[in-house]
Structure 1
Amino acid sequence: MGTALREVVGECLRSPLVSPYLIHYKPKARLREQIDAKEHWTSVTPDYLTKEFSKARDAAHAYDHMPVGERPTFHEIRALGACGREDDEALPGGARRQDDRVR
């Protein structure tokens, strides 16, 4: 594990919120239907990172010159970060195969 990743993991572990998940959050409201839809009330939904990345990308105004539907997604940026890397740590599991089409 590299230094930057170690720091991020350490920050996650120091979270005051007790959770079995490394990446987690405290929902603004705990509605029964939302709690029942997830494995744990602090877990993120499958599309959470995608939505939050889109919000941050748009708030940064870095791609205002592009139509909303053409702006890079979390997964496209992630694939570009792994582009050209030969080591097994670039992307977990089958992600390399899925991201090959972005290259």
Structure 2
Amino acid sequence: MKCLHVLPMNTLSGAEKLALILCKNMNKYEPIVVCGGEPLKTIFEENGIKSYSINFTKNIFRNANSLKKIIKENNIEIVHAHDNNASINSYLTKR
């Protein structure tokens, strides 16, 4: 089972640190991360976690389409949004 973590930020701060700890310790799920920039993507990849970087813009429908593509390509079953922005964008993938 695959779990997608959505992190719109580009720096390793509170929610991102928590997501890294969660991903490193997920035993029954394969973690995949979508983040808001290459620096954060690199940190997750260095820890052996498959990651994507998308440019989260003010156009939430474009963001949702980018997420939807990643969800479909990877057969994601669970989406964990780590902040309000991530929650809105993730919700719109189901619309």
TM range (shorter): under 0.3
Higher RCO, Cα 8 Å, sep 6+: 2
Structure number having the greater strand percentage: 2
